[in-house]
Structure 1
């Protein structure tokens, strides 16, 4: 957590002010949470990008606000889909000794048996919600898909006991499925119709 973000307070304001901020290389943001009222701030776009690359999106950042240091996590990032630029960031001030809820991405590892047999990998949910102390917040949770066959899925229930974090997401929350290839499915339907 060596990264210290320098931020400036800003007037919560008009669209033209926000556009000016962005043109000047800054990102409008807001900070709220532990011992803080909601405060509009701005942060250097370059500095923010560097910090995210170094710390990861789930990292804990130290922020200097009005001369005092505040520990924060990124709560939400709004991006412009056309330009791949960050439009706005919500920072959540946290108490380092209290567990927080956070969405953590799922990273699939291994080569699935089902895929090598021609199956199609579907990942309907890219994240799970966990409750964890800020210092233990992982960048991602790895899920091994090596033994996954066509027609099989991995849900939160399957990984709950295998990881050290308290998962808040429901047991039925599907993380990955290996689907039968559509061509095979169509051939099966066709042959079934011929037999009738």
Structure 2
């Protein structure tokens, strides 16, 4: 079931009007879709952040625009102010609930690989997977149990359980988790020579050269 988010229409695109929108706790946005007329709107920043945090990045949002019928959308893109760490602009994409679409879904590794207990290092080359599904069938995340991985073992996309609701579009041979042997060359520190004189802490370059 889609979560509802209220929106107001934007009639002015002047910088002063945009500034007022942000100062009022809202963020300028645009909503558009395939063969759909784009509309400029504004939504409450806190409500939007809470919705994405609670429902996930790929949540279906019922956008309730004043004066219009609610429309099902997904958060498509957003821009952040790097200095203030605040939302500057948001793009919503109108979805067709009966058509498949391609999205990125977070990949979450679960468990402690047994290989790490033997000194191995768990590596995760991918943190998101490309998934094709109808909007209502998009998973919030893909969880993979890595507890059985020993040193030298790996998991590829082809090893993931198949679903009748979605499919992965990345190369099936792509590795998503692996346990590699410890790099002993980097872990072993060079021992000082037995007859080497200790370095003087805080000594100047001139003193060291003498």
Superposed pair shares fold, TM > 0.5: yes
> How far apart are residue 83 of structure 1 and its match?
4.2
Contact 1:12 1:40 in 2 (8 A): no
Q: How many residues align?
A: 187
Residue in structure 2 matched with residue 194 of structure 1 by the alignment: none
Aligned to 1:44: 44
Work out the CA distance in 2 between the residues paired with 1:9 and 1:175: 43
Is the CA contact 1:103–1:127 (under 8 Å) kept in the aligned structure 2?
yes
Distance 1:71 1:129 in 2: 21
Asked if 1:55 corresponds to 2:65, the answer is no
Structure 2: gaps of 5 or more residues: 191-210
Bigger drift between 101-110 and 81-90 goes to 81-90
1 or 2, which has the higher helix percentage? 1
RMSD: 2.5
Question: Offset of 1:2 from its aligned partner?
Answer: 4.7
The correspondence of residues 77-92 of structure 1 with structure 2, limited to 5 A, is 77-92=78-93
Please give the alpha-carbon distance, in whole angstroms, between the structure 1 residues aligned to 2:81 and 2:92. Answer: 18
1:89-108 alignment runs, 5 A limit: 89-108=90-109
Tell me by how many angstroms 1:28 deviates: 1.8
1:8 is displaced (CA, Å) by 1.8
State the distance in 2 between where 1:15 and 1:114 align. 56
> Is the 1:120–1:178 contact (alpha carbons within 8 Å) kept by the matching residues of 2?
yes
Larger radius of gyration: 2
Q: Tell me what 1:169 maps to.
A: 170
TM-score, normalisation: structure 2: 0.77
Q: Give TM-score, length-normalised by structure 1.
A: 0.82
Corresponding residue for residue 208 of structure 2: none
Residue deviations 1:22-73 (CA, integer Å, cap 9, x gap): 2221112221114422322211001112212332221111012342111011
